[in-house]
Each structure stands twice: as structure tokens, then as C-alpha cells.
Amino acid sequence: MASHAEAAHHAEGPWYLDNGKRPGIRGFITSTNHKRIGILYLVAVLSFFTVAVILGVLMRIQMLSPDSKFLSGQLYNSMFTLHGIIMVFLVVIPGIPTIFGNFFLPILIGGEDMAFPRLNLFSWYLYMTGAAVVLGSILFAKGAVDTGWTFYVPYSLHTTVDVPLAVFGVFLLGMSSILTGLNIVTTTHMLRAPGMTFFRMPLSVWGLYSTAWVQVLATPVIGITMVLILLERVFGIGVFDPSKGGDPLLYQHLFWIYSHPAVYIMILPAMGIISDLFPVFSRKNIFGYKTIAFSSLAIASVGSLVWGHHMYVSGQSDTASIVFSLLTFLVAIPSAIKVFNWVATMYKGSVKVDPPFLYALGFIALFSIGGLTGLVLGALSTDVHTHDTYFVVGHFHYIIFGGMGFGLFAALHYWFPKMFGKTYNYKTATVAFIVLFVGFNLFYMTLLILGWAGMPRRYYSYLPQFTDLQVIATVGSWIMVAGLGVMFGNLLYALFRGKKAEADPWGGSTLEWQIPSPPHAENFEKVPVITHGPYVFPRKADTEKAGKKE
Amino acid sequence: MENRDHSVGARVGMWLFLLSEILLFGGLFLLYSVYRAKHPGDFHAASMELSRFDGTLNTAILLTSSLTAVAAVFSLQELNKPKRTIFFLGATIAFGLAFLVVKAFEWTAKFEHGLYPNAAVLMKRPPGEILYFGLYFTMTGLHALHVIIGMTVLSVILSFVVRGKATQERSAALENAGLYWHLVDVIWIFLFPLFYLIS
């Protein structure tokens, strides 16, 4: 627990001026305050994101022509591996829970900090150590990891690059993720303000809470799987080595037992935040609060039982494939419930399309395309045709970048004024969104078409007939990156030169908008008492204002 | 609802952590069940190589250590007798050490017989036996690592009790250390029959 005496001196000022024991950057990296840890993650995650985007752009440049010599085949292998590892394990999985979960979960439930502040800081150090180990693996052996982010055996047992170090790094990142999940579950159960029942929690908290359970329950499985690869490489224990009787398929099972639920770790928190945005920007209560809350839990639980749909063509039993396919289709139900409820929330609302809401709307569009293409892959017959093609790559980026990524950007634009007390330029943010959205679709829609036409993924060259579409995709990627550049530039400019933000720029009704922007170190001056649900629209203040105008 | 009592929160966190530990071992138990179903005969033959005496001895040691761990927690929480807690914690750590010593003898014997991963002797055996010993070393090794971690945690708590930092009122850390130790014990309760008693 944060010490009261320590914070008392600065309790009035914004959180980032409350230096605690040490000033400056040292104050940041030793502070156990949940908001500072959130910012530590924000800086780290966005830095890794930038690196992985650059890797992606380099790969797209390679694909400009079928006989391009820009990258060697080996280098291309390493690039898509690193792009995948960094994006999945360093950006998308930790992303929203560590940045916005840390910064806002305690505020949203009327608490002072997370349940275990020291453990929280420790998990940031674990995360950074894991990142350093994973990226450090490039420096040793013969080149960077080239196995794909999935580390599939038997290749990962034989390649000459430094797989053991990379998988150990992933193990550390997994531990960090477990500790974050544990912290979020405990915080949600223990530290809610008086009157904050489970059904009065904002839906973003439901998203974080469901995710945290998956983090605690699924991550250990990837942990042990990575350890087994390590032991296999170092001691040759044989469990995945066919020459010793081991079964490589079992590796795939263990890997996807975690890595499919991991997709829900990525998307659920974003869905939660989107659910918070719709009532605010539609000036209307959320449609179907409980169904959205329960659909998060449904996605978390059913989503843990669908891993086999990654293995339709692996030779697993047909019965298993049919069951996995059925369960996969079932996940579409709670996902669709959410989408319909968001759209229904706008019905007869007073919709105001501010930048955060633009990203929320973008989320719905892109997530829907991602979800529907997911059904193509979840169906047994069509999957055979599209398996391991650009179609999978396109689908995955629609879900994860279009879903989680746009959710993260929505959250960033929604909470930026609250976190830093600064306002960014709305017009620039809108332009950035449009450029990003156009580039995104030009890029990934083309990948879907290419995949459908038979372009396999992970190849550094291709047949001449794909040239036109490959060029369009690459141009799309440039437009997309330009959009990202404008977006981050706009926010960075606002951080240093932005105008002061109001306490409640969007007219929100959840707890974070009732405290100053930026919040004080201790969040609330006195413990809030909750008497109603999170979304109360139209708000009293709005109707009074409207009355005066008349 | 609002419950800022730290000891309850600490306990909730600990149970979640133990749950994640169970799933960590769960992956290994999954491999074990698949491979044993595939090679029941080889697993039976390989299991004959283990010393059932050492396994039983270690089971007895670890079960007793769980008893002393409970006694340590009880002595502080219910009886408020820190000295007794110190004694029982010391005993638990000593039992842990004894367990590791027996384990070390066991492993050494296996090494001498050439029954370790990648050993020439083992590689001539049928695949089921190779897998059995691969899993045996992985699972008992990971378990031994947990015993070491548990002993370290108990030692830290011991120093807390000695310095008066863990008391009857502030016993959450001691209780959690006890819970962790029981988990280590419980996992062994599963490992013992699965490796030693299947022949």
C-alpha cells in the first residue's frame, strides 16, 4: 500500500509532480504508484511497437518485386519472427492491461492503488528483463531467431540461432503477465469503493477482469512449453523430438492452449474500453450492460477451448477438428452480442464523433471484418484452402491491429487529457485516423485477396502474377505508417505544447472524470461512495445546460 | 465489497498464484498422460529402475515437513509463540534439505547407470523409456527447484519472525509461505505414484 505520509506533501498536485522519495527519472523507475507504472509500460510498449512497425515496413519493401534482393531469405525469416515476437509478447499481450489497466483500474473502481504495488513494479522489471533477453538473443549465435513467433518444433530444435535465450525471454514475459493478471483480479475483488458492486463497474473493468483470469490460467502453459523447448535444446530430454519418440504435435497443442486464449487477452480489454466509449459519445446508456459483461466472461471461457482450430491441417483427429470448429463458431456469438449492443447504443443517441469515438467506430468496422474472415478460417473445408496464406495474416491483423490496436488508440485519445492534463488537436487526430484507416484497409484487404488467390505467408519471394497486389499492399503499408506518424506526432506535440485539459472533456460519467486532470497521486481526496451504475445518461449537468439555452 | 484488509488480499493473490503453478505443472502432466497412454509397457519397465525406497522416504519427509509448516503457522497465528514458530520453520527447512539430499542420491544413481537424457545407454532403450526418463528428470527437477524456492521463502520468513517483523497480527506472509510449501508437497503427492508406483 502506498504510504500516506509520503504522498501527503504533494497530494494536491498532479501525479507526475509527486516525486515521492526520489526525483526525476529515478523517481519513476522506483515508484510503486500505479499511474507511474502505467506510464513506464506506455513508454516501453510504444517503443517496442515502433521497432516492430519498422521491421514490418522493411518486409513490405522486400515484397515490392518478386525477385527483390533487398533482404536475404534468412534475414526475411528473422524479420517476420522478430516482428511477431515483439508485437505479440511485448506489445499486444501486455498492451492495454499494463498501460491502461495499471493507470485506470484503481481509479475506475474508486481505489487508491493496485492490490500489490510492489509486485506491480516488479512485474515491469520482469517485463523489461524478458524483453532484453528476447532481443539480446539476436546478438548471439548465428543471427536472429528465425523460427517464426510460434517456435514450432522440430525446426526450433535444430536451427543454429539462439532459440534457448529467446524462449527463456518469453518465459520471463509470461511470468510478468501472470503477475499483472493476479494483481488485476485481486484489485478488482478487494479494492472497490463502497457501493461499487460488480454490476456498477464500468465495462472496461469487466474487460480487464476477464482478461486477467485468462492471463493467470493460460500463461503458465506457455511458460512450461518454453521451458521444455529450453530443456530440449540444452539437455535433449526428447519430449518433442520425433527421433526419441516425442511428438511434435503435442508441442503445437501446448503452444496453442496458451496462444489462442492469448488472442482474447489481446482483444478483451480493448472491447471493454470500447464499451466505455459508446455511451459517452452517444450520450446514452449502454445497451445491454449485463450481456456485454457476461459476454466477456463467455469469450474468456469458451475461447480457452478452441486452440485446435490452429491445427486443422496438422493431422489431428477429424473428430477433434469438428469439435474445435464448433466451439470456434460459438465464440462468434458473444463477440457479435458485443458488436450489436454497441451499435444499438448509438440508436437514437446524440452521437458526437470526437477522435476517441472515431477509433471506436474504426474498431467495430475492422473487428467485424476480422471476425467474419475468422469464420472462413474456423470452418474446416475453407481453412484447408486458406491455411498458412496471406489470408491468415490479413485476418489476424484485422482482429489484432484493427481490434486491439485501434482499441488502444481509442483509449489513448480518450484518456490522454486525463493522464497528462493536456489537450491534443482534434482536427489533426481526425486526419491521422482517416489516413491510418485508409492505409490499413488498402494494406490488409489486399493481403486477404492475395491469400485467397494462394499467396503463402512467410515467403520472401512470390510468383510474378502477384506483383500488382503486392505493390498495392506495400503502398498501403506506407499510407498506414504515415497515419501512425501523424497520430503519435500529434499526441507528442500535445504532451509538451498542448493546451490544458479540463477535468471532463468528453462529458463522461465514470469515476475518472470526477477527479482533476491529471489526477493526484492518491487519486481521490476521500473514498468515493458509489450509488449508481457507471453510465448515467443524459447527465444532470447536460440537461441543465440544455435547459438554459432554451 | 470494499475490503482494504491487506491480509485477505494477500491470501487471494497467493491462491491465484498457486493456481497458475498448478497449470504450469499441468502442461507436464498432460505430456505424461499422453505418452504413458502411448507406451504403457515402456513406462512400466522404466519405472522398475527407480528406487521405491528412496521415493517412499522422500514422501514421508515431505509430508512431515508439511505438518511442521502447519505447526509453524499455528504457533504464531493461534498461540502467539514466535519461538515455537522459529523451531518449526527451521524443522521444515531441514526436512526440505533432507528431501533434496535423498533426491541428489537418486539422481546420481541414475547418472551412473547412464539413465539421463541423451545418454548412450538410454538412447538404446525403446522410445517410451526415453520419454519416461525425459519426463522424470524434467518433472522431479522442476519440483526440486520449487523445493529450493520454498526453502528460500521459508528462510526469509524465518528471519522476519526472528526480527519481529512477522507477528500474530502480521502473519499473512508466513501463511502464504506455508501455502506455497503445501503446494510443493501436493505436487509431489502426484509425482510419487505416477513415477514410482506404476510398475
pLDDT score for B105:
96
Helices (H), A111-160: 117-136, 155-158
Which member of A115, A194, A246 has the closest CB to residue B131? A246
Q: Whole-angstrom Cα distance, residue A143 to residue A137? A: 8
Q: Is residue B183 part of a domain?
A: yes
CB contact under 8 A, A178 and B20: yes
Give the residue on A whose Cα is nearest the Cα of B26: A221
pLDDT at position A229, please? Answer: 96
Residue B55 located in a structural domain: yes
Q: Is the ipTM of this complex over 0.90?
A: yes
**What SS3 state is found at A422?**
strand
pLDDT surpassing 80 at residue B107: yes
Nearest-Cα distance to chain B for A403, in Å, is 28
B118–A197 C-beta distance less than 8 A: no
Q: How far is Cα B130 from Cα A425, in angstroms, rounded to an integer?
A: 65
Question: In angstroms, rounded to a whole number, what is the distance separating the alpha carbons of residues B148 and B100?
Answer: 8
> Within a domain: residue B1?
no
Predicted structure pTM score: 0.93
Contacts of A14 (CB under 8 A, 6+ apart): A421, A516, A518, A519, A520
Q: Does B13 touch chain A (CB under 8 A)?
A: yes
Triad A217, A218, A221: Cα angle to 5°: 115
DSSP state of A71: S
Whichever domain contains B63, its CATH number is 1.20.120.80
Q: Which of B130, B133, B140 should we substitute to test contact with A (largest number of A Cβ atoms within 10 Å)? A: B130
Which regions in chain A score pLDDT beneath 50? 1-10, 550
Counting one residue from chain A and one from chain B, the pairs whose CB atoms sit within 8 A come to 117
| B163 in contact with chain A, both atoms CB, cutoff 8 A | no
Measured between beta carbons, the chain A residues lying within 8 angstroms of B142 are: 227
Phi, psi angle pair for A456, to nearest 5°: -75, 150
**Does the residue B169 lie in any domain?**
yes
- Which residues on chain A are in Cβ contact (under 8 Å) with B132? none
Rg (CA), chain A: 23
Phi, psi of A463 (to 5 degrees): -70, 150
Q: B20 touching A, CB under 8 A?
A: yes
Of A115, A181, A196, the CB nearest to B1: A196
Nearest C-alpha in B relative to A258: B27
Q: Does B174 touch chain A (CB under 8 A)?
A: no
Nearest beta carbon to residue A238 from set B25, B34, B130: B130
In a domain, B27, yes or no: yes
Q: Which domain holds residue A454?
A: 4-549
- Quote the domain boundaries for residue B132: 6-196
CA distance A367 to A335: 10
Number of compact structural domains in chain A: 1
Residue of B nearest to A179 (CA): B17
B33 CB within 8 Å of a chain A CB: no
Range B87-108 average pLDDT: 97
For residue A21, what pLDDT is reported? 63
Per the structure, how many domains does chain B have? 1
Q: Please tell me the distance in Å from A251's CA to the nearest CA on chain B.
A: 9
> pLDDT digit string (tens) for B42-95?
999 999 999 999 999 999 999 999 999 999 999 999 999 999 999 999 999 999
From the list A95, A123, A94, the residue with the least C-alpha distance to A34 is A123
Q: Which amino acid is at A300?
A: A
Q: Among A115, A220, A254, whose Cβ lies nearest the Cβ of B20?
A: A220
pLDDT at A538: 77
CATH of the domain at A175: 1.20.210.10
Identify the residue whose cell numbers are 488498402.
A442
For B39, name the nearest residue in chain A, comparing CA atoms only: A245
Closest to A300 (Cα-Cα) out of A180, A189, A199, A208: A208
